[in-house]
Amino acid sequence: MDPMSRSRLLYIIQAALEYLIAILVAGSYLATLTSELGISDSLTGILSSIISLGCLFQLFSLLIRRTRVKTMVLIFSIVNQLLFLLLYVIPLPRLPDGIRVAAFVAVIITAYLIYNIILPKKTAWLMSLVEEDQRGRFTANKEIVSLIVGMVYTFGMGTMVDHFRDAGNIRTAFILCAATIFGLTVLHSIVLLATVEPETGLSVSRDLRSGLKAVFGNRQVLKVALLFVLWNAASYCAIPFYGTFQIKELGFSLQLVSIITIVSSIARVLVSRFWGSYADKHSFAKMVRWCFIIAAAGFGCVIFASPANGKLLFTVYSVCHAVALGGINSALTNLCYDYTPVAHRADALAFTQAVAGLSGFVTTLTVSPLVSAIQQNGNRFLGISVYAQQVVSVIAFILTAVVTVYVSTFRSRNAGTE
């Protein structure tokens, strides 16, 4: 196997390993950690949206004007993943809750700061290994591998955490999660080391001023950035609160959460290749419009979810959301690439992700008081008995409908190679 083909395979493996680490620091796993620390649902939602705020830190990547980034990517990745490991260590010492919570918040913010500073450069490097007309299919294949591996992994980790938590020994579960992250970090580092960095694969403008001009002077890039902003606002007004919704209000075990995740992952695997092929044939803009329609349907299901029907409706939501993300995650990056010359792709991606990240975090911060108010009012809103997560799902549904209409105005073209 030639070095480029081998490196594309390693890229797929790298993405899978990174995904496995991400699973343990998000969603119901993050909710389990914050519950152990006594952190409220609203603050947990804000912490979940740190993932979005972290994207703002991608603006710092604009200051990195080097063409060789492999060593920097490796170092930043190791530090970032070890900080994620610390999230499972912080609850262990018998320290005052205030100290543990402060340390937890500081570590998660720092972890995402480091992760996002290097992300645009890492993406530009690794995507330079892929042929332009194969980006859709390759991204789909990469995602399918991550999801298949993630299914078994999620079920195993969820069952393990449930077992120790039910036995009153959650500390052992946290230690095993930390050890798992450490092992994955070692493997991830080895894979990055073995991946080639083409001599001409990462074409980048060395001048920051010209890079900024190319981004802010490109109306299509600004249009894509607004799409990022709207979608993140729709996602982060609701999804950060779903982790605690499953664990507390709906009463799900982590094993059940894992089963739902597996079902939705299977659905995402089944459609990922279709979305990739459709995008390569028709355009990422046309593909992502259909994805947003499906995402809106998913949010609609959560509007009516309750303990009586939660297993069914939340599973339907998860499947819809997974199917939609099978195209959305690929499209948002590739749309940016479609409308940006190669030399400025990393800069354009950093800008669009940054403004989107800020949008997501501000949205969660704005919605959190509403969530707290509804819960403190005995789960009543405007005189109606309702869960806070149902109310924010209404907002997410409306915003996703707006995004669907907006993306319909995009021109179908690939300008990235011009």
Q: How confident is the model at residue 217 (pLDDT cuts 50, 70, 90)?
A: low
- The pLDDT score that the predictor gives to residue 74 is 92
The model's pTM is 0.69
Average pLDDT over residues 261-271: 85
- 140 has a pLDDT exceeding 90: no
Residues 335-348 have pLDDT tens digits of 777 767 666 666 77
Considering only 11-15, 356-360, 404-408, which range has the smallest mean pLDDT?
A: 356-360
Average pLDDT over residues 206-215: 61
- 143 has a pLDDT exceeding 90: no
Q: Give percent of the chain with pLDDT exceeding 70.
A: 85
- 86 has a pLDDT exceeding 90: yes
Which of 125-134, 293-302, 360-369, 376-385: highest mean pLDDT?
Answer: 293-302
Q: How confident is the model at residue 51 (pLDDT cuts 50, 70, 90)?
A: low
Mean pLDDT of the chain: 82
For the chain, the three-class secondary structure string (H helix, E strand, C coil) is CCHHHHHHHHHHHHHHHHHHHHHCCCHHHHHHHHHHCCCCHHHHHHHHCHHHHHHHHHHHHHHCCCCCCHHHHHHHHHHHHHHHHHHHHCCCCCCCHHHHHHHHHHHHHHHHHHHHHHHHHHHHHHHCCCCHHHHHHHHHHHHHHHHHHHHHHHHHHHHHHHHHHHCCCHHHHHHHHHHHHHHHHHHHHHHHHHCCCCCCCCCCCCCHHHHHHHHHCCHHHHHHHHHHHHHHHHHHCCHHHHHHHHHHHCCCCHHHHHHHHHHHHHHHHHHHHHHHHHHHHHCHHHHHHHHHHHHHHHHHHHHCCCCCCHHHHHHHHHHHHHHHHHHHHHHHHHHHHHCCCHHHHHHHHHHHHHHHHHHHHHHHHHHHHHHHHHHHCCCEECCEECCHHHHHHHHHHHHHHHHHHHHCCCCCCCCCCC
Average pLDDT over residues 60-79: 79
- The pLDDT score that the predictor gives to residue 175 is 94
- Between 98 and 48, residue with greater pLDDT: 98
Average pLDDT over residues 291-304: 94
Q: How confident is the model at residue 266 (pLDDT cuts 50, 70, 90)?
A: confident
- The pLDDT score that the predictor gives to residue 202 is 43
- The pLDDT score that the predictor gives to residue 98 is 81
- 118 has a pLDDT exceeding 70: yes
- 393 has a pLDDT exceeding 70: yes
Q: Give percent of the chain with pLDDT exceeding 90.
A: 25
- 324 has a pLDDT exceeding 50: yes
Average pLDDT over residues 309-325: 92
Considering only 178-187, 200-209, 223-232, which range has the smallest mean pLDDT?
A: 200-209
Q: How confident is the model at residue 28 (pLDDT cuts 50, 70, 90)?
A: confident
